[in-house]
Amino acid sequence: MSTYSETTVHLECDTDDEVEINSGNDLCSQQGNENSNDYKCISDLTDDDIRGMEFSTETEATSFYKLYAHFHGFAVRKDDVKRDREKKIYMRQLLCNKAGTSTGNMRPTTRTGCEAKLRLLYDVDCKKFRVSVFNPTHNHDLTPERFVHLIPNYRKLTEADKQVVNGFISRVRLMVMHHFFQSLVLQMMDA
């Protein structure tokens, strides 16, 4: 049985030990003494580890699969969802963004019919989402690590980047205004 939180994934082994997977930028394994937790690389997760995971919320599961996809070089999209009578989600399916096929579009498509997916079912007894289906097989090449940031889903500006861009735009506006007023003054002096 496994659980996921925003910062770590806990994999409970057959023994009493727990294995944590760091979901930050440092996805490497660390092993400490017997009093500290062991860390496992996300690359070391087996299919069975993922099939045995459970999540507190559907959002946590989606975050995990997006992290997994980013690490492995593909993007995720939400597919099927089923809700109960109270409109609460009890089934969610997440797919590789190349799943399915395109019909009737004149535009080129990126859909290849990829079968990779993660399906979650809500377990009423333990009040958690469990992975019911996990298929890691892709029918296309995965994006190399050095190009993953170019996948449209991952092209995001950090707050620091946004501040740099906004500062640059502000300076350009000031330069344009300065040039405009300078030329206006020169025209008035010539007249």
pLDDT at position 45: 78
pLDDT score of 39 = 52
Which of 177, 35, 42, 58 lies closest to 121 in space, CA to CA? 58
pLDDT tens-digit map of 22-50: 333 334 333 333 333 445 677 777 888 88
Residue pair 134/51 in contact (Cβ under 8 Å)? The answer is yes
* CA-closest candidate to residue 47, choices 167, 113, 136, 141: 136
